[in-house]
Amino acid sequence: MTAECPTCGDEFDTKHGMRIHHYGAHGERLPNRTCQSCGKQFYDDEAKRTYCDECDAPTTPSGQDNPNWKGGKPKKSCDYCGETYRTYRDNRFCSRECFRIWWSEKTRNDGNPMWSGGVEIGYTGTWAKVRRQALERDDNTYQSCGATRDELGQEPDVHHIVPVREHDDPEQAHRLDNVIFLCRSCHRKIEVGKLEIASAQG
């Protein structure tokens, strides 16, 4: 079966030979592909493309527009600060910082396998009195989120604005103007730097 040049009418034994002739004699490559979108014929060096330049290949939709969408990364709640986050990993914390603080608390004193008894340093003396005064001053209302002890059904955390560890004498940390009444979740967020609080009322 012969192939005829569409420009000069010369005949060739094969289409391939006719195409080589057309490019050499007439300076133009003949189409070798048909666009699957618009039906336009075009030339492709490797003869592999299925869409012309105007149409281009459609991109695979991402996220919820993809037909294979299965909801994305599962939502989880951090075991320490309570923050909601998404991950495919089998972990319990939203960040390394939350894990570090949780682990520090878990392995402190009798949580540590090397614990051999003793007392917790820094929470003696005037601490109980100052804690009671802070609860009375803040009227059993969490000072960050505004919830009350009865609403959340949990015992309060009394947070040291300037931590005990930063004082040479722990008793210096137990001042009414250095403590504030917080819920557990807000307290943990403050400890990992995810939440800021105003100064205590004093």
**pLDDT number for residue 8:** 92
Per-residue pLDDT of the chain (202 residues; tens, 9 = 90+): 788 999 999 988 888 888 889 888 998 999 989 988 888 998 888 888 888 888 876 666 666 777 677 777 888 888 888 888 888 777 888 888 888 777 777 665 555 444 445 545 556 667 788 888 888 888 878 788 888 778 877 777 888 888 877 878 878 888 888 888 888 888 888 877 777 765 555 5
User: Which is nearest to 144 in space by CA: 96, 103, 183, 176?
Assistant: 183
What is the number of other CB atoms lying within 10 angstroms of the CB of residue 59?
A: 6
**pLDDT number for residue 119:** 45
Rg of the chain taking only CA atoms, in angstroms: 36
What percentage of the chain's residues is helix, strand, coil (to nearest 5)?
30, 10, 60
Q: Give the DSSP per-residue string, 125-171.
A: TTHHHHHHHHHHHTTTB-TTT--BHHHHTS--EEEESS-GGGSSSGG
pTM above 0.85, yes or no: no
**pLDDT number for residue 71:** 75
